[in-house]
Amino acid sequence: MAKIFIKFNAAIINEVELSKNEVRFGRKPDNDIVINNPAVSGYHGLFKKEGDGYVVEDLNSTNGTFVNGRRIKKSHLEDNDNIRVAKHILEFHTDSNAPKPKGLDIPIDPTQEAKKEVLRKSLGLPPESEEGKKEIDEKSEEKEEKKEPAPPPTPAPPSSSPPPISSSPPPTKPTFPSRPTAPQQKSKGSHAVIKIVSGAVGDQTEVPIRGLVTYIGSADQAVIKIKGFLAPGLAAAISQRPEGYFLKAVKPGYPKVNGNPVHEQALLESGALIECGGTNMVFYLSDDKKKGSEKEPH
């Protein structure tokens, strides 16, 4: 099945399977692929299956859709094509195999060809003559006949008595306690929320996580704003995947999760503390946050 790898600053932040005949992308949250960027139109474009392949089509977007650097209205897609939408790259990949070149289906044995060349020279024949091929094949057959076949292995005599049966039970493998696995993070109907606990910018105190990718930084396109001296425009991105929510470091080592610098990505569990510059925030799943708020005071 064909896939789209979503990239930002050369880092893959998400991947989407083209499981439907039409997959739409844009800034609005009801798109199949949501790109939170002011330069992206609400309904920017779509991927469409046509025959055995796919096309990408621009839906009259403001800033355009580019395939391998060329602005398009509609374009057929080949494996590894790059579709640029604002500052994001949507990389197209298909698992279909290219057809084999004709004439390369049967491999050539170089050892056999070398033997024939030696016989051809010893007979004084020109290369690739029909007579030479016939005599070479006959000489090869004579040499094969002279070889003595290896004697077949002697079968072991059948045992007259069955093998002894041990009275002790077979040894069992030691068992070790299984490593406890973390409970599944996402539950049906739950939504992620970021709660700003210190260093909020403006009146931003609680931000719901919508779409596949939500950016953290000081730039206009960042949904969650941060403070800090020389705070990067984009410091991190929270991506939503089937197995849970992940924080991806756009600036490696700058964001921290539970006090640990993130250089690539980290799985976010409900209650995780995120630090970016001078802004501290807590990641919650909405159902967990609601349960915590409904606890009776002591």
pLDDT digits (tens, 9 = 90+) for 83-130: 999 999 999 998 654 333 333 333 434 455 565 566 666 656 555 544
% of the chain residues with pLDDT over 90: 34
- Fold that domain 191-286 belongs to in CATH: Tumour Suppressor Smad4 (2.60.200)
In CATH terms, 2-94 corresponds, of 3.40.50.300, 1.20.1730.10, 2.60.200.20, 1.10.3720.10, to: 2.60.200.20
Q: Is the pLDDT of residue 168 over 80?
A: no
Q: What angle do CA 82, 84, 87 make, to 5 degrees?
A: 130
**Is a pLDDT exceeding 50 seen at residue 178?**
no
Fold matches, 2-94 and 191-286: yes
Residue-level pLDDT at 60: 94
Q: How many CB atoms are closer than 10 A to CB 228?
A: 16
pLDDT bin (cut points 50, 70, 90) of residue 183 is: very low
Q: Which of 70-79, 138-147, 174-183 has the highest mean pLDDT?
A: 70-79
Which pLDDT value is given to residue 134? 54
In tens, the pLDDT along 220-258 reads 888 888 987 788 888 899 988 888 899 999 889 999 999
Q: Where are the domains of the chain?
A: 2-94, 191-286
What confidence score (pLDDT) does residue 211 get? Answer: 77
Mind listing the pLDDT tens digit for each residue in 31-44? 999 998 889 999 99
